[in-house]
Amino acid sequence: MITTYSATYHSPDKQQYLATIILSSVTLTVQYTDEEGNQKEIHWLGDDIQQLETRADDSYYLHHQSKQGEVSILHFRDPKLFQAIRKNFRHQKFVGNMPARAMNSFFSKFLVMVSIFIGLFLIGYWWLAPWLGERMASGISKDTEISIGKKMYESISMGEKIDTGRTKLINEFYKQLNYKTTYPIEITVVSSPEVNAFAIPGGHIVVYDAILDNMKTPEELAALLGHEVSHIELRHSLKNISRTLARQMFLSLVLGSESGFTSVLVEHADNLKGLEYSRELETESDNNGIRLMHESHINTEGMSNLMTLLQKSTGGKDNTLNFLSTHPVFEKRIANIKEQLKKYVPAPTENVEIKNTFHALYETF
């Protein structure tokens, strides 16, 4: 004897009919009478059934889609029909088995939780941590910054070969520039084939002699020092390394370790050598450096000449030219420098004092 069940059939054209359901292991047959009294019989293959849905009101919905894309639905409340469908079509994807469905549900929730965690982690790492790092840096007093910078300098210079003769001359050169700054600037020349220079929070500047060897005029050196001094004066060095190290602290917190912010700054002082400034900070330092040059009656064309010199220096020396990797020269930056130079009248006469000290940097050593 064939077992039949009752259900409501929702046709593709949105009509509803009381239907008789007959099941086999391969098909589900829907029998109903249309509006004109004609007997209809539709056969659903198990492969075409999309979903067996259970709702809170103890009703069930079986969704079917034909090869032509037409969607029809069976609505019923008979739990025996529900169990019969699950039994007859137990190998179909739309049924599965309860453990598998529970496992799929668990993994779905797990993947959602993992995705949320990864999303929050990325937000924290790329945006929140740097923002907090910069806020913390802004709260550091100038005296504390100078003290931190001194410790960072000691950490950095420990493994470097310092050229004491050139260091004395370049500090003399800087004093002759008479730049108006609020930090105690001290410059150190390091013997290295690396073309690089970088500013340390609080007042120290490290210049590698390879970058000096490429310079032809005192105005180019004045531009370099004006740019690095601006990074210090505008607290770029402190803010930049704080943003970077805040990410490392964020990772440490996620992994369960703890460390004070200022101690982390000192411990990672060596990062300053390769720390890249943003285009915004580079432009701001260029502008301030040009202003310092103008106020000290130094020909501001030196800034433009410095950029040209650095670009030409890349030929065959990409592996040692760290200055351009940390202080990128880009088209908008050069265009901005040229635009800034229009605001200032070139110095009418050259500064003989800095010219003599500049040449002494090369003639003596």
pLDDT tens string 100-141: 555 556 677 777 788 887 887 777 666 666 666 666 666 778
pLDDT-based confidence at 252, cuts 50/70/90? low
33-41: average pLDDT? 93
Check: CB of residue 74 under 8 Å from CB of residue 16: no
Query: Looking at the predicted structure, is the pLDDT value of residue 98 above 60?
Result: no
Q: pLDDT value at position 15?
A: 93
Which has the minimum average pLDDT: 15-24, 161-170, 221-230, 339-348? Answer: 339-348
Per-chain mean pLDDT for the chain: 82
Q: Which stretch, 191-195, 239-243, 260-264, has highest mean pLDDT?
A: 191-195
Q: Kindly calculate the radius of gyration of the chain based on its CA atoms and give it in whole angstroms.
A: 37
pLDDT single digits (tens) 200-225: 999 999 999 988 988 889 999 999 99
Which has the minimum average pLDDT: 161-165, 225-229, 262-266? Answer: 262-266
pLDDT single digits (tens) 290-340: 999 999 999 999 999 988 887 776 553 443 445 545 555 657 778 889 899
Q: Locate 63 and state its tokens.
A: 């969704």
pLDDT-based confidence at 144, cuts 50/70/90? confident
Q: Which domains are present in the chain?
A: 4-95 (2.30.29.30), 122-363 (no CATH)
How far apart are alpha carbons 278 and 194 in whole angstroms? 21
Torsion region of 64: left, alpha or beta (phi above 0 gives left; psi -120 to 50 gives alpha): beta
Q: pLDDT value at position 44?
A: 94
Residue type, 336: N
Residues 6+ apart with CB under 8 A from 112: none
Length of the chain: 365
Number of H helices, E strands in the chain: 14, 10
